[in-house]
Amino acid sequence: MSENQQKEYWRWKEYNWKNPEIPDWKGGLVTAGVDVGSTSSQAVICVDGQLYAYASMRTGSDSPSSALNAINWAMEGTGLTLQDINFTVGTGYGRVNVPFANKAVTEIACHARGANFMYGPSVRTLLDMGGQDCKAIHCDDKGKVTSFLMNDKCAAGTGRGMEVFANLLAVSIEDVGDMSFNVETEPDPVSSTCVVFAKTEATGLLRAGWSKEKVLAAYCSAMASRVVSLLERNGMELDFAITGGIAKNPGVVKRIEKLLGVQALTPKYDTQIAGALGGALFAKALVEKSAKVAK
Amino acid sequence: MIANYGYKDGSGEFYISIDTDKCTTCSEKGCLESCPGQIFEMMVDDWDDEVAAVKASERNKIKMTCAACKPTTGRPELLPCQAACKPRGITHSW
């Protein structure tokens, strides 16, 4: 097998982070959100509602292990143990399989809450572009969902679709967005209703002499038009923000902005952690609610 | 909250929208029994309210399941699920 065939171009970087502005968690209310998605898992730890640490990694075949690996990596170097976390919310595709979670909350509610924290209370329309689904969400100034629409029928418009194209074209997933702008004229989009058909179409275009950049531009454009139709069905209201892994792909984000004629808000944090962050904030609210009831 | 369940594919857009705020005032839950395809269920949402939802196993095939209630001619003004929903919280996009 050649080196090219062995390389997995779809693999994105896994990482963890600790907030240097919060030196110690002791004495604070420690809450966690664990988002076990179809493709990636994130764990976020908040201290008194402030982002303290997080980790983002690929989801394995076993959701409970993925959740545990993510929270352990987020706690690395903090001195925290699972027993020190006051309340944990599990969210995402595998939310019911987070063994140490106190409650499961849907990723739709968690993304809205997380986006409210990340982008501010002006966010009204949110697009979450996940690994295997895509959601258009409306929320109020407190991050509470007022309407949502989800598409998980096929991989078109999802991170997995982009991974398929990165592998097909032997382009690192992190370079796809920038490369897609290296075209003289914007090509027509490829099929936006099915990744399998889009891949077949792309193979034909490569054979017809299209450059990798042009094919990527056609696919980014297809993905943008696909998710814009979701947003339009749910209704657009400003401000607009994007979460999930695809929010890091400027090739898709810029094309969505162009089609909608609006600018997405600039994220203050990693867009992939929005769901887990929302979970940690939900956890804080739930602890405070139960404390009020106890009084 | 307006919850949209369904999908878009090459043949069109198929969404059932449920205004879940209306479910909290509904005691009859008529949608559960009225649907011949039994696609509705009650669930506790993230704010601990009991609301109607389309079953996860049904969400990606509602075009086929709902076809039985949508004849090409003589379609009733209200579908069985819509007629049974007293607060009028259910709409279909197609």
pLDDT tens digit string along B61-83?
999 999 999 998 988 999 999 99
Mutation choice for B interface testing from A95, A151, A201 by most B CBs within 10 A: A151
- Lowest average pLDDT, out of A178-182, A274-278, B4-8, goes to B4-8
Confidence of residue A295 (pLDDT cuts 50, 70, 90): confident
Determine contact: A229 vs chain B, CB below 8 A: yes
Q: Is the same domain home to A154 and A240?
A: yes
Q: Look up tokens 């007629």; give the residue.
A: B83
Q: Which residues of A touch B13 (CB under 8 A)?
A: 229, 233
Rounded Cα–Cα distance for residues A278 and A114 (Å) = 4
Rounded Cα–Cα distance for residues B23 and B87 (Å) = 8
Cβ atoms < 10 Å from Cβ of B33: 12
The pLDDT of A186-192, averaged and rounded, is 88
Q: Is the same domain home to A111 and A127?
A: no
Q: Is the same domain home to A191 and A241?
A: yes
Q: Which secondary structure element, helix H or strand E, spans residue A52, and what is its range?
A: strand A50-58
Q: What is the average pLDDT value for chain A, to the nearest integer?
A: 92
Q: Which residues of B touch A233 (CB under 8 A)?
A: 4, 8, 13, 15, 93
Range of the domain at A27: 3-115+273-294
Q: How many domains does chain A have?
A: 2
Rounded Cα–Cα distance for residues B64 and A99 (Å) = 37
> What tokens does B53 get?
């939802």
Rounded Cα–Cα distance for residues A88 and B14 (Å) = 36
What pLDDT, on a 0 to 100 scale, did the predictor assign at position A2?
56
Q: Is the same domain home to A130 and A211?
A: yes
Cis peptide before A239 (omega within 30 of 0): yes
CB B62 within 8 A of CB B94: no
Q: Is the same domain home to A72 and A27?
A: yes
Q: Which residue of B has its CA nearest to A145?
A: B1
Q: Which residue of B has its CA nearest to A230?
A: B8
Q: Is the same domain home to A284 and A256?
A: no
Domain boundaries, chain B: 2-92
Question: Helix or strand or coil: residue A186?
Answer: coil
Question: Which of A116, A94, A95 shows the shortest CA–CA distance to A105?
Answer: A95
Q: Do A194 and B7 touch (CB under 8 A)?
A: no
Please compute, for residue A245, the number of CA atoms within 13 A of its CA located in the half-sphere on the CB side: 28
Give B5→chain A minimum CA distance, Å. 7
Question: Helix or strand or coil: residue A150?
Answer: strand
pLDDT(A134) > 80: yes
What pLDDT, on a 0 to 100 scale, did the predictor assign at position A28?
96
Q: Which of A106, A229, A234 sits opposite B4 (nearest CB)?
A: A234
Q: Which of A105, A151, A194 sits opposite B7 (nearest CB)?
A: A151
What pLDDT, on a 0 to 100 scale, did the predictor assign at position A151?
82
CATH number at residue A209: 3.30.420.40
Q: Is the same domain home to A152 and A246?
A: yes
Rounded Cα–Cα distance for residues B29 and A246 (Å) = 39
Q: What is the average pLDDT value for chain B, to the nearest integer?
A: 94
Q: Look up tokens 């962050």; give the residue.
A: A277
Rounded Cα–Cα distance for residues A220 and B50 (Å) = 40
CB A84 within 8 A of CB A57: no
CB A139 within 8 A of CB A115: yes
Determine contact: A165 vs chain B, CB below 8 A: no
Cβ atoms < 10 Å from Cβ of A184: 8
The pLDDT of A78-106, averaged and rounded, is 96
What pLDDT, on a 0 to 100 scale, did the predictor assign at position A108?
95
Determine contact: A154 vs chain B, CB below 8 A: yes
